[in-house]
């Protein structure tokens, strides 16, 4: 798209070009940039693991935006009862306040991933230096709590761009996306929410939920049972994608 825009501009220097060609070229370019930024599956700015090609009915369960004192411990109770290991992409400032919850999650075999420090609404406008600072600050917290350095990063809102791509590369992180977005922060009807998730089940999927949603406590047991009834097994994320979740 950038090349197409460049070609139109260069041709315009030497030959008359209708104004709408410029509109089309720039519109296509910026449209592609926006699509690539807001769709983590697009792989435009940074490689992101959103699912894996496998033949077995396995998937990984991930939670964003915790730890949440009134929700995450109950979620851990549910997962422990079902003997399911999940990945928690934690926000740094919440980790500072709720280190015991994250420590419990790690001790019970769950993966702790990086979800930035601030989860700012303006995160995707941060320059590379600020993005890297958010990553390193949260990584250091996770290292302090778990004793291991995390390698999995999920960008806030799933937004990627050049700054995020550069910071991730410098930190040696693996970007984790999803191919089943539950929209549990928007859909309030539990039945509709479950139907949406179950309709998208596929081998090698990565499911996104949020452990700062109180409704999750009542919703999760039924969802896990329904997934099991459909002969799907929930496996640890590192096992699913074949990459280590931590480094020394």
For residue 150, give the 3-state DSSP assignment: strand
Candidates 119, 210, 211, 212; catalytic one: 210
Distances (CA, A) of 188 to 39, 165, 217: 23, 33, 13
**Euclidean distance between the first and the last CA atom of the chain, given in angstroms as a whole number:** 41
Distance from C-alpha of 57 to C-alpha of 229, rounded to nearest angstrom: 12
- Residue-wise DSSP of 208-220: EEETT-TTHHHHH
Residue with tokens 């929410």: 193
- Is 64 considered catalytic here? yes
68 within 8 A of 105, measured Cβ to Cβ: no
Q: What's the rounded Cα separation, in Å, for the pair 147 and 88?
A: 16
Q: Is the dihedral of CA 50, 52, 56, 58 positive or negative?
A: negative
CA distances from residue 24 to 9, 16, 27 in whole angstroms, order as listed: 12, 16, 5
Handedness of CA 102, 70, 238, 48 (dihedral sign): negative
Is 210 a residue of the active site? yes
Query: Closest Cα to residue 196, out of 206, 181, 208, 185?
Result: 181
The catalytic position among 64, 65, 184, 211 is 64
Place of tokens 């539990």: 190
Length of the chain: 248
| Residues with catalytic roles | 64, 210
């Amino acid at each position: 798209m950038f090349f197409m825009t460049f070609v139109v501009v260069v041709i315009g220097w030497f030959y008359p070009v209708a104004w709408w060609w410029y509109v089309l070229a720039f519109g296509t370019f910026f449209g592609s940039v926006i699509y690539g930024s807001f769709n983590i599956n697009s792989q435009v700015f940074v490689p992101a693991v959103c699912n894996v090609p496998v033949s077995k009915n396995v998937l990984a369960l991930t939670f964003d935006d915790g730890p949440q004192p009134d929700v995450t411990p109950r979620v851990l109770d549910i997962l422990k009862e079902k003997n399911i290991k999940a990945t928690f992409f934690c926000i740094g400032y919440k980790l500072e306040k709720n280190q015991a919850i994250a420590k419990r999650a790690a001790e019970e075999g769950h993966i702790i991933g990086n979800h930035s420090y601030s989860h700012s609404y303006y995160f995707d406008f941060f320059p590379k230096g600020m993005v890297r600072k958010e990553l390193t600050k949260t990584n250091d917290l996770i290292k302090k709590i778990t004793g291991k350095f995390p390698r999995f990063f999920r960008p806030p809102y799933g937004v990627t761009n050049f700054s995020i791509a550069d910071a991730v590369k410098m930190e040696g992180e693996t970007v984790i996306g999803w191919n089943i977005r539950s929209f549990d922060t928007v859909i309030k009807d539990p039945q509709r929410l479950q139907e949406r998730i179950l309709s998208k089940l596929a081998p090698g999927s990565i499911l996104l939920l949020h452990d700062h949603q109180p409704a999750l406590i009542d919703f999760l047991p039924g969802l896990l049972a329904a997934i099991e009834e459909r002969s799907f097994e929930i496996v640890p994320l590192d096992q699913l994608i074949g990459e280590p979740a931590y480094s020394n």
